[in-house]
Amino acid sequence: MRAVEITDATLADYGRRPRKDTWVLTRRGKPVAAVVPISSEVDLETFGLSHNPRFIEIVNRSWASYKKDGGVSLEEMRRRHGPERKVSRRRKAR
């Protein structure tokens, strides 16, 4: 990890460095942001959600509700939200 004053940092500088360094950008010595390397195996949507405070709050509320009230069984979930099953007709034997 490397601390860099925000006025001295450019994305071009970061892009030329090895992809293993994390830069902590500072303003007057206080951290304000981080530039984190992302490997090609990382799913960008997952990365974005895992760093989104609103999404994290939704997950935390869901876990708290589950711990307090319990969950819903798979059968109940299918009954409430699953597709209606069509009654299949058997083919006549020839």
- Tens digits of pLDDT across the chain (94 residues): 778 888 887 777 777 776 677 889 999 999 998 888 887 788 888 888 988 999 999 999 999 999 999 988 889 889 999 877 666 666 666 6
**What was the pLDDT predicted at 92?**
65
DSSP at 73:
-
Annotated domain spans of the chain: 1-37, 39-77
pLDDT for res 93? 65
Distances (CA, A) of 81 to 13, 21, 72, 76: 51, 46, 12, 8
pLDDT attached to residue 7? 83
* Residue 4 CB neighbour total at 10 angstroms: 16
